[in-house]
Amino acid sequence: MDVVSQSSLNEHLPQTGIPSGSQDKVSVLDSEPEMAEPQVAVTPVIRSNLSVKAPEFYPQGYIQNFNQNFADSSFEDRYDCCLTLVEYVQDFLNHLTDQPACFETEIEQFAETLNAWVTSGEDLQGLVELIYQQATSVPNFSYMGARLCNYLSHHLTISPQSGNFRQLLLQRCRAEYENRDEATRADETTQKEFHAFVLFLAELYLNLEIKGTKGQVMRAEILQEGLRELLNALLSNPVDSNLICAVKLLKLTGSVLEDAWKEKGKSDMEDIIQRIENVVLDANCSRDVKHMLLKLVELRSSNWGRVHGSSAHTEATPENDPNYFMNEPTFYTSEGVPFTAADPDYQEKYQELLEREDFFPEYEENGTYLPGPGDPYFDDIDDEMDPEIEEAYEKFCLESEHTKK
């Protein structure tokens, strides 16, 4: 075996970063195997240029305080990096998308900030466009977007000549609405965008509140008429994607629309359901979509799933409810004849049963049942084993002892 020389070891030490004072810790192999000593592993000393006093690192393009909770920081803390209005609004929309539960606690501060920041019709138009794009492009944000629009329509104070927030929002929706016929026959991407708009408009109809002339809160009637025309456009081109959108729209707003039309004496919902039934019979849509349409017709026939009982449970009587005694227990007389609460002699038979049987043994005041020596159950218990059982038990014990040995 080769012997490692001291000179070669010294040459090797600077390369590995081992201090010169640690050389004595490295064992040199002896030429005699029987005299060899175990080698001692030496951990290289790694020197670092890191410092605890180094400034905090941020990735390129990162804006400090950009994703902080809006309710937990002041206006100066949030915007010391000169965020633009677009950046601020988009960040808040993304924040609501990720944490929708924060709407109630942070919407007031958001509206106050906008009132101080949105000072022109151009700013207001940009705000409407950002919210519209978020509500129609981000899945599941249409409901939150509609709630946000409703709040801002009542709390934004700016009202330029181009229109207030609600007016600009409805103008933006009208631009999409007017292209409904082309959109239902367009390519897949355009149809998908149109269907997202339809569902957002449905959420607006349900959530956007308008004050009437007498101060009463009401829904926007113009949206009601718009949804009717959108349904016509979807059903006029009965491909699967359009029909699925129509089903979603009616599941969301069907009950409200029908109630509103009935108040006006209109039968619009009847006409829509008839068109859907015709689609099921004639259209070349898939079997799954036809099944969805039939389920929708069934839902509407059940009053959109709303339950209105004709009589309350407490008002049921044996005369008007044939199942009145369905869940009543069955008792037996001393002769073994069954009887229930439906029998005319129920009270008499039941009283006789109570007198004959002792259903209430003695209990202590705390509810603990303490049977005495005269208790029939314990008197029947015999402490002695049956001879056959006793013989089997002894055999089991002997086999157990034999197994242990």
Blockwise average pLDDT, block size 10, the chain, 405 residues = 44 44 42 49 61 64 46 46 86 94 94 93 94 93 95 93 93 94 94 96 93 80 93 94 95 94 92 93 88 93 76 54 58 68 69 61 48 51 67 80 69
Distance CA 103, CA 110 (A): 10
pLDDT of residue 390: 78
Strand partners, 217: 211
Radius of gyration of the chain (CA): 41
pLDDT of residue 100: 92
pLDDT of residue 355: 67
Question: What is the 8-class DSSP label of residue 363?
Answer: B
Give 253-259's long-range contacts (Cβ < 8 A, gap of 24+): 253/202, 253/205, 253/206, 253/227, 254/296, 254/299, 254/300, 254/304, 255/303, 255/304, 255/305, 255/306, 256/205, 256/206, 256/219, 257/224, 257/227, 257/228, 258/300, 258/304
Asked if 155 contacts 216 with a C-beta cutoff of 8 angstroms, the reply is: no
pLDDT of residue 152: 96
Burial class (CB in 10 A: 0-12, 13-18, 19+), 101: exposed
pLDDT of residue 282: 85
pLDDT of residue 94: 95
Structure-token pair, residue 107: 């919407």
Smallest CA-to-CA distance from 156 within 203, 182, 119 is with 119
Burial class (CB in 10 A: 0-12, 13-18, 19+), 232: middle
| Degrees, nearest 5: CA angle 91-96-99 | 120
Please list, in sequence order, all residues whose beta carbon lies within 8 angstroms of the beta carbon of residue 235, skipping any fewer than 6 positions away.
242, 243, 246, 272, 275, 276, 279
- Helix (H, G, I), strand (E, B), or coil: what is residue 118? coil
| Degrees, nearest 5: CA angle 118-121-127 | 55
pLDDT of residue 29: 40
pLDDT of residue 245: 96
Residue whose token pair is 């192999």: 29
Question: What is the 8-class DSSP label of residue 153?
Answer: H
> In what helix (H) or strand (E) does residue 315 lie, and over which residues does it extend?
none
Per DSSP, which regions of 34-76 are E strands?
A: none
Burial class (CB in 10 A: 0-12, 13-18, 19+), 291: exposed
pLDDT of residue 397: 81
pLDDT of residue 11: 46
